[in-house]
């Protein structure tokens, strides 16, 4: 009898221990589900002032502290955020926005039309954002909660610009009263800034009465982990819940591990081989076409990017307005490349200097060098410090160079107008110093066209001309990814790195 009683007591103790452990585990899980997330990023921000910032990591953080008049969903469609209603004039030059009422900045101030006017006027004057707002003529306050923006000319992508992080709405009083605003941001977004420890972390907390609803996750930390191997280890140990742009060498390990989910999409950042179209031999279209045939884009992706990337078929990244799949990349064709070089008078090839910087650029340059050697062309690679590289690229004397750049806003105008209009040689955007009067005219016409279908046709025509002229070689589109705890849901990597944590929640 005593033996049976002892057995029962032991069993009860075991059940009690197991129940307590499960309860604690459930409790810990519930706290985490309601309370916090740690997201690793590879670089620190430079500024958290939206009209005085140019780095992607600053914008990634700011996206959660501020609101824009409109936001973009995971499918690339915009929706009103701070706007209740809006109208556009028939000539496409006037936009009137009725603002939501009772929207509060994190300092307690109510959002008013004066803040919107102050923000746009500030953006027009800032050297960081002025290029985005060249279309704006005046901003009028037409009521406490109504503002009208008058454009100099019809500009169909205007709403796209208002969705960008550089268009985050700031509070006039907060800006004027702060002596160090870029380190102490005030917005109307779902998260309020708490602290920024340089090189380590940015911390923010959820706004209980956020105008679109209380965030599911209330405490957010962006942790700066520059070494991606260290980031992967931190993810494995559970020290961080997610990492933006995990290294390609760790990518498969994340995919194979059931503890993690992995999200990856094409970004809006493209690598290009740029030719100086003003100097020999790159002032010869046949030479540029020949090198376009000689370059093996798949080999570049496989050897320089561990197989991660998407072939870029034309100058407009897929996924933004104005892209067309009817303009395809030059195929890798050594025979055709040699034939064109012979026609151009370079049957025995030639030599040129190819400028690049460290990292991916150097790897890409080496693959290109190997490709061109097959057609008798010698690319002498010169690896430069970034500042020197920029000076050489802008100076107009370099033979050829490698660059990566993205888009200011998801519209072909952002890529093509400054990139290929002859008014923008050098630092303004036309790095290849390409000039074509027909392209100039089409770009000017497309910029002010109101009908979207007409604009698409014009951009298609422009891309066909650029394909023929081959002023540069669009190589490949980089990817953006997020590796995260499998219990995290609502994760949508953004092609511009503007990840909106408000959409995240724990299972």
DSSP output for 417-443: HHHH-GGGBGGGSBTT----HHHHHHH
Cα separation of 247 and 11, whole Å? Answer: 49
Can you tell me the mean pLDDT for 4-28? 40
For 221, residues 6+ apart whose C-beta sits below 8 A from its C-beta are: 36, 37, 38, 39, 201, 202, 203, 204
Taking 3-state DSSP, the helix, strand and coil percentages for the chain, each rounded to the nearest 5, stand at 40, 25, 35
With a cut of 70, say whether residue 32 has pLDDT above it. no
Cα separation of 228 and 221, whole Å? Answer: 18
Cα separation of 234 and 40, whole Å? Answer: 9
- The phi, psi pair for 453, rounded to 5°, reads -65, -40
Query: What pLDDT, on a 0 to 100 scale, did the predictor assign at position 495?
Result: 86
pTM score over 0.75: yes
Can you tell me the mean pLDDT for 322-332? 95
Q: What is the pLDDT of residues 192-237, one digit of tens each?
A: 999 999 999 999 999 999 999 999 999 999 999 999 999 999 999 9
Helix, strand or coil for residue 36? strand
Query: What pLDDT, on a 0 to 100 scale, did the predictor assign at position 498?
Result: 81
Cα separation of 218 and 44, whole Å? Answer: 22
Answer yes or no: are the C-beta atoms of 504 and 216 closer than 8 Å: yes
With a cut of 60, say whether residue 162 has pLDDT above it. yes
Q: Above pLDDT 70, what percent of the chain? A: 93
pLDDT band at 406 (very low <50, low <70, confident <90, very high): confident
Query: What pLDDT, on a 0 to 100 scale, did the predictor assign at position 16?
Result: 42
Mean of all residue pLDDT scores within the chain: 91
DSSP class of residue 409 equals S
Q: How many CB atoms lie within 10 A of CB 264?
A: 16
User: How many residues does this entry show for the chain?
Assistant: 507
Can you tell me the mean pLDDT for 361-368? 96
For 178, residues 6+ apart whose C-beta sits below 8 A from its C-beta are: 184, 186
Cα separation of 81 and 70, whole Å? Answer: 5
Q: What is the pLDDT of residues 249-302, one digit of tens each?
A: 899 999 999 999 999 999 998 999 999 999 999 999 999 999 999 999 999 999
50 HSE (CA, 13 A, CB side): 31
Q: What is the pLDDT of residues 413-462, one digit of tens each?
A: 999 999 999 999 988 789 999 999 999 999 999 999 999 999 999 999 99
Query: What pLDDT, on a 0 to 100 scale, did the predictor assign at position 131?
Result: 86
With a cut of 80, say whether residue 3 has pLDDT above it. no
With a cut of 80, say whether residue 29 has pLDDT above it. no
DSSP class of residue 104 equals B
For 159, residues 6+ apart whose C-beta sits below 8 A from its C-beta are: 70, 78
Cα separation of 187 and 210, whole Å? Answer: 11
Q: How many CB atoms lie within 10 A of CB 318?
A: 17
Q: What is the pLDDT of residues 482-495, one digit of tens each?
A: 999 999 999 988 88
- Select 56-259+486-506's CATH number: 3.40.190.10, 3.40.50.300, 3.40.640.10, 3.40.50.2000: 3.40.190.10
Pairwise pLDDT comparison (137 vs 74), residue with the higher score: 137
Query: What pLDDT, on a 0 to 100 scale, did the predictor assign at position 360?
Result: 87
Pairwise pLDDT comparison (173 vs 4), residue with the higher score: 173
Query: What pLDDT, on a 0 to 100 scale, did the predictor assign at position 220?
Result: 98
Q: Which helix or strand (DSSP H or E) is residue 101 part of? A: none
The owner of tokens 């496409």 is 92
Cα separation of 315 and 475, whole Å? Answer: 9
Cα separation of 59 and 61, whole Å? Answer: 5
pLDDT band at 34 (very low <50, low <70, confident <90, very high): low
Cα separation of 360 and 351, whole Å? Answer: 23
With a cut of 80, say whether residue 4 has pLDDT above it. no
Q: How many CB atoms lie within 10 A of CB 58?
A: 23
Domain ranges for the chain, please list them: 56-259+486-506, 268-477
- The phi, psi pair for 210, rounded to 5°, reads -55, 140
Q: What is the pLDDT of residues 278-289, one digit of tens each?
A: 999 999 999 999
Query: What pLDDT, on a 0 to 100 scale, did the predictor assign at position 347?
Result: 97
Cα separation of 495 and 488, whole Å? Answer: 20
Answer yes or no: are the C-beta atoms of 207 and 190 closer than 8 Å: yes
Pairwise pLDDT comparison (241 vs 319), residue with the higher score: 241
DSSP string, 274-327: EE-TTSTTTTSHHHHHHHHHH--HHHHHHHHSTT-SEE--SSS-TTSBT--TTS
Can you tell me the mean pLDDT for 362-372? 97
CATH code assigned to 268-477 = 3.10.105.10
With a cut of 90, say whether residue 7 has pLDDT above it. no
- The phi, psi pair for 257, rounded to 5°, reads -95, 120
With a cut of 60, say whether residue 19 has pLDDT above it. no
């Amino acid at each position: 009898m005593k033996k049976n009683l002892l057995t029962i007591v032991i069993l009860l103790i075991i059940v009690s221990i197991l129940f307590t452990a499960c309860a604690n585990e459930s409790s810990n899980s519930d706290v985490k589900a309601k309370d916090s997330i740690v997201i690793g990023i590879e670089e620190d921000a430079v500024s958290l002032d939206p009209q005085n910032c140019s780095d992607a990591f600053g914008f990634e953080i700011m996206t959660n502290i501020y609101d824009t008049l409109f936001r973009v969903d995971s499918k690339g469609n915009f929706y009103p955020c701070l706007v209740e209603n809006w109208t556009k004039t028939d000539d496409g030059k006037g936009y009137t926005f009725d603002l939501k009422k009772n929207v509060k900045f994190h300092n307690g101030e109510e959002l008013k039309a004066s803040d919107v006017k102050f923000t746009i006027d500030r953006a027009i004057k800032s050297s960081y954002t002025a290029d985005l707002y060249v279309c704006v003529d005046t901003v009028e306050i037409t009521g406490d909660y109504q503002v009208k923006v008058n454009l100099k000319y019809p500009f169909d992508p205007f709403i796209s610009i208002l969705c960008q992080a550089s268009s985050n709405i700031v509070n006039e009083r907060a800006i004027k009263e702060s002596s160090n605003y870029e380190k102490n941001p005030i917005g109307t977004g779902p998260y309020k800034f708490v602290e920024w420890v340089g090189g380590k972390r940015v911390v923010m907390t959820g706004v209980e009465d956020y105008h679109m609803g209380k965030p599911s996750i209330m405490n957010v930390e962006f942790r700066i982990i520059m070494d991606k191997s260290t980031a992967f280890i931190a993810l494995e140990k559970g020290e961080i819940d997610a990492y933006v742009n995990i290294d390609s060498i760790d990518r498969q390990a994340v995919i194979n591990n059931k503890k993690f989910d992995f999200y990856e999409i094409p970004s809006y950042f493209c690598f290009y081989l740029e030719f100086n179209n003003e100097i020999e031999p790159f002032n010869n279209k046949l030479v540029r076409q020949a090198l376009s045939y000689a370059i093996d884009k798949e080999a570049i992706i496989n050897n320089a990017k561990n197989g991660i990337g998407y072939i870029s078929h034309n100058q407009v990244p897929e996924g933004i307005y104005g892209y067309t799949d009817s303009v395809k990349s030059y195929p890798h064709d050594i025979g055709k490349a040699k034939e064109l070089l012979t026609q151009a008078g370079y049957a025995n090839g030639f030599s040129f200097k190819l400028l690049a910087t460290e990292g991916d650029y150097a790897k890409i340059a080496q693959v290109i060098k190997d490709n061109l050697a097959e057609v008798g062309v010698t690319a002498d690679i010169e690896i430069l410090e970034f500042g020197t590289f920029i000076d050489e690229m802008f100076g107009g004397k370099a033979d050829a160079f490698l660059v990566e750049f993205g888009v200011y806003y998801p519209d072909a105008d952002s890529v093509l107008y400054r990139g290929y209009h002859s008014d923008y040689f050098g630092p303004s955007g036309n790095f290849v110093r390409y000039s074509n009067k027909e392209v100039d005219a089409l770009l000017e016409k497309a910029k002010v066209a109101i009908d979207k279908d007409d604009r698409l046709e014009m951009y298609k025509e422009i891309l066909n001309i650029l394909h023929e002229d081959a002023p540069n070689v669009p190589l490949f589109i980089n990817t953006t990814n997020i590796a995260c705890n499998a219990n995290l849901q609502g994760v949508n990597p953004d092609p511009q790195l503007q990840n909106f944590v408000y959409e995240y929640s724990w299972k």
